[in-house]
Structure formats: structure tokens, C-alpha cells
Amino acid sequence: MAKRKNAAAVALAKRRAQVMTPEARSASARTAGLVGGRARAKKLTPAQRKAIAKAAAAARWGKKER
């Protein structure tokens, strides 16, 4: 079951984003994405990581119908 987001924290983040410059907003989003990716990878089992990697390889190098 997914965790519920803290409504107050979401509202505060939206308010902060409104006063940030586009460059600062972009940097903040990139940092959050990097942290989130590591957290997701840490949570996955080796079997799940393998399945994701296989699907990605098939999508990238699989046969393409023309």
C-alpha cells in the first residue's frame, strides 16, 4: 500500500516552487529525482531489478516491426 502524502508538506512545496526561479526549480527537481531513483533501487529485490533490466533491454535492442 502506498504511503499517503502529507498535505501540509505538499502545499508548502508548491508555495516554495512558486517563488523560485526556473533555474532553482529545475535544480531542485533534479536533486529530488536523483534521491528518488536511489530509494527505489534500494527497495527493489534482485529479481525485480532483473525483470526491469530485461524489459528495458528488450525495448532498446529488441526487434522492431516495420
Contacts with 52 (C-beta within 8 Å, 6 or more apart), sequence order: 44
Answer yes or no: pTM beyond 0.75. no
Confidence of residue 14 (pLDDT cuts 50, 70, 90): confident
Q: How confident is the model at residue 1 (pLDDT cuts 50, 70, 90)?
A: low
Dist. CA 38–CA 4, nearest whole Å: 20
- How far is residue 21's CA from residue 34's CA, in Å, rounded to a whole number? 20
- Residue 66 in any domain: the answer is no
- Cα–Cα distance measured from residue 21 to residue 28, given in angstroms and rounded to the nearest whole number: 11
Number of folded domains that form the chain: 1
What is the span of the domain harbouring residue 48? 7-61
The number of CA neighbours under 13 Å toward the Cβ of 34 is 6
| Residue 53 included in any domain | yes
User: What confidence tens digit (pLDDT) does each residue in 15-64 have?
Assistant: 888 888 888 888 888 888 888 888 888 899 999 999 999 999 999 998 76
